[in-house]
A = this chain, B = another copy of it.
Amino acid sequence: MSIEESKKAARLRKPTIATVAKHAGVAVSTVSRFLNGHYVSKDARARLAEVIEELGYVRSWTARNLSLGLRGCVGVVVDSIQDLWFTQLLAGIEEELSTRDTSLMLASLELSGRYDPRIVQQWIRERRVDGVILVKSQRRERALVHECVETNLPTVMVAPDESVSRAHVVRCDNRAAGAAVAQHLANLGHRRIAFAGGPEHSVDTRQRLAGLRDGLEERGIRLDPKRVSFLASYEADAGCQFASEILKAPFEFTALVTGNDAIALGFMRIAQQHGVRIPERISVVGFDDVPEGALLWPGLTTVAQPTREMGRAACQKLFEAISDPGEQQVLVYPVDLVVRESTAPPQR
């Protein structure tokens, strides 16, 4: 009776590894080995493939993870999910994740206007994620990075603002990016060029500036230190503020290179609001190539990164680190100048 009942129940319930084993006439361990690509005889292999297909068996990732002591989930941390550049990175991450049966936990460090890393610290302490991808981590995230590394939590950093060890790093070739901009502006005939970067300590900003400066010098153009500024953040607001400052007095330069697209967009808004014509009066260049830069008029000349690919790579590296915590690598991706309407030869 109870046997009958359990049999019926088994028929209704969705098939497990045991069901497959029974139908194929092998042991569960054999099925498991088959599923994981370990050694199984040709015969068994064929039979199992058939039975699995027939039964419509799908493995339980929850059970697998429990058994392996994994969470089947990675964390992605960023200042704000609405970061224009991050969205593209996320697309790459998603793409890679979808091939891996791994889910995602997202954390904005600045969700409701103020900085709060507690969610991420909880992840780390409770080991809720198998690893984390830290996107554009800044100085204030130092403690967080430290926690990750101390806990031996596999960690990949994308475009970190400080150099780090004990974590994979994925970033773009900022120096080349700066150099490309230098060449473009020099070719257009600009001689008086200004730079408005992100925070001064930021690696991205420093490298882009270095590339720009060197590139200009190669062409006999000096980047006047008086025309180099560092803003408080990489956000559009900072660009707006900078524009307001600049426009208070007459200014001399004919081209402005900003730390990223968001800053450039903010600058352009305020400049245009004040009647400053772009690119006639001033050419503007950004970095990142966020989609929005192509959506306004004039379109923003910028330097594109293979952002989506970098997202995929970050994910791949993370999985490598999870399955085999070995050497830490630094991946540097090439960049591409994208010329739109915000740059033109200087008027005079």
> Chain A residues in contact with chain B, CB under 8 A?
14, 58, 60-63, 65-66, 70-73, 80-82, 87-88, 90-91, 94-95, 97-98, 101, 103-108, 111, 119, 125-128, 236, 265-266, 268-270, 272-273, 291-292, 295-297, 299, 341
Residue of B nearest to A81 (CB): B91
Cβ A107 vs Cβ B94 within 8 A: yes
Count the copies.
2
Known: A65-B62, A94-B108. A296 touches B71 (CB 8 A): no
Tell me the bound Cα distance from A88 to B268 in angstroms. 24
Tell me which residues across on chain B come within 8 A of A297, comparing CB atoms: 268-270, 272-273
Cβ A111 vs Cβ B91 within 8 A: yes
Tell me the bound Cα distance from A73 to B61 in angstroms. 11
Known: A94-B107, A94-B108. A81 touches B87 (CB 8 A): yes
Known: A66-B60, A71-B62, A269-B295. A104 touches B101 (CB 8 A): no
Task: Kindly list the 10 A-B residue pairs having the minimum CB-CB distance in the complex, ordered from nearest.
Answer: A272-B297, A103-B103, A58-B126, A296-B296, A73-B103, A94-B106, A269-B297, A62-B66, A103-B105, A104-B104
Tell me the bound Cα distance from A126 to B64 in angstroms. 14
11 contacts between A and B (CB under 8 A): A58-B125, A58-B126, A62-B72, A94-B107, A101-B128, A104-B106, A265-B296, A266-B295, A268-B296, A269-B299, A295-B296
